[in-house]
Amino acid sequence: MQIRTLSTALNLPNQTLLFDLDELYGVLRGIKDRRGKQGRQYPLAEILLIGVLAKLTGQTSSRAMADWAKLRSQELHHLFHLRHAKMPHYSTWSRIMGQAVDPDELERVLGQFFGRDLAIVTQPGQRHICLDGKTLRGTIPLGESQGVHLLAAYLPREGVVLAQVQVKTVGNEITAAPALLATLDLRGAVVSGDANFAARPLSEKILRAKGDYLWVIKENQSQMYQDIQLLFTPQQSRPGWSAPPMDFRGAVSEDLGHGRQERRQITVSSLLAGYSLWPGLSQVFQLERSRTNALGKMEQETAYGITSLPNSTGTPQRLLDLVREHWQIENGLHYRRDRTFREDDSQLRMGHAPQVLAILNHTAWGVFAHQGETNLPHAQRTFAYQFDRALARLAS
C-alpha cells in the first residue's frame, strides 16, 4: 500500500484538508500493533485514522464511530485498499482500542506530530505548558467514586495536548507529573499548575530540564503560603517610623462580556527570593479578582503564587497573562471534550479503550485548533459535509 494514495485519491478541497492526511497516516503506521497475527483482520493504522476522521465529523462515542464507518464502508474500503469491504463491528472497535494500542506510545507519537511545527523558543518562559487532570465520569463504576483519571500537558495558545498519562487516583497527580514532563522538551518553557503541583521536587525537576515553573500556592504549602500572605499584608507604621521599603509591581486587566464585568489585579515581588528555601524561587505574586454579574452581585477572591521566572521575563503583565492562560485548559480542552465530544457520557471501559478514545478526542480538536478554528461544532459540521462529498466523488 502506498501512503501517498490517500490524499490524491480523495482530492479534497483545501478548506477540507485541515491536515496532512498522508503524514498523519504515516505516523500512525509506526504504532505497534499488540494483537496476535491471527486477530489482525483490520490494520491498526487504518482503524486509528478512520477513528480520527469520525471524530472530526462529530461522532461522540465508539458506537457512533463504528456506525459512521459502517455507513461509509465501501468508500473507506476503496480509499484505504482494505482487505475487507465492511467495517469492523462495534465490539471489534472496543477490542482494538482496549487491547491493540499502547496509549502511552500513541500519546507520544501524536504529541510529536503536533509539536513538530512549534516555533523555536528563543527566551525563557516563551512557551507555556499547562498541567491539569480530568476524570472520565462515564468510567466510574456504580457505587464507586474513582474512574479513569488523565493528566494532560496542554499548550493553551496552540490548543494542543503534548502528552497525557493515566493517574491511578485523583490525588496522585503530583506523582504522575514527573513521568509526564520527562517526555517533553522543557527548555524555554514555563510549566503552570494549580496548588496540587506546587512541590519542591517537581520544581527542581523542571529547573534541571532548563524550564521554569509557575504554581498557585494554597494552605497545603503552609509556610510558603503564610510568607506570601504576610508579605502582601499592608504594613502599619508607628509614629516616627516609616514602613519598610517594598518592590511591589503590578498589572491590571478588565473584561466585560455576557453581562459580567471582571477585574484582575496582580501584585508581584522579588523580596522572598533570597529568603525562601524554595528551589529557584524568583518572584511571588498576589492575584485579586473581582466579578460583577448582570444582577450587580460582586464576588471577590485572592490567590497567591510563585514562579522561577525572573522579573526581566516574568513581568507583572506576563505573569497575569500566564495565570489567565492556565485556566484555558478548562474552557479550551476539558469543556470541549465534555460538551462537544461528550467524553463523560462514554461508558467504554475495556482495557485502555477510555484513554485511547480520549486521545482521539483531543487529536481531533488539535487538528482543528492547528488551523485556527475556535468553533468546534461548526468545524465538525463543515468537515463532515465536505468529507462526505469527497467520499461520494471517490465512489462514483
Angle at 332 between CA 140 and CA 336, to 5 degrees: 50
Tell me the mean pLDDT in the region 279-284: 96
Is 195 buried (19+), middle (13-18) or exposed (0-12) by CB count in 10 A? middle
Tell me the mean pLDDT in the region 348-360: 83
State pLDDT tens for residues 115-127: 777 767 767 788 9
Q: Where are the domains of the chain?
A: 5-101+348-395, 113-233+246-334
Q: What is the pTM of this model?
A: 0.84
Q: How far is CA 258 from CA 64, 170, 255, in A?
A: 34, 33, 10
Residue 379 pLDDT greater than 80, yes or no: yes
Intra-chain end-to-end CA distance of the chain, in Å: 22
Residue 278 pLDDT greater than 70, yes or no: yes
**CATH number, domain 113-233+246-334, options 3.30.70.260, 3.50.50.60, 3.30.565.10, 3.90.350.10:** 3.90.350.10
Residue 252 is predicted with a pLDDT of: 94
Residue 170 pLDDT greater than 70, yes or no: no
State pLDDT tens for residues 5-38: 566 566 554 444 445 677 888 889 999 998 887 7
State pLDDT tens for residues 288-333: 999 887 777 888 999 999 999 999 999 999 999 999 999 888 877 8
In this structure, of 98-102, 249-253, 274-278, 391-395, the range with the lowest mean pLDDT score is: 391-395
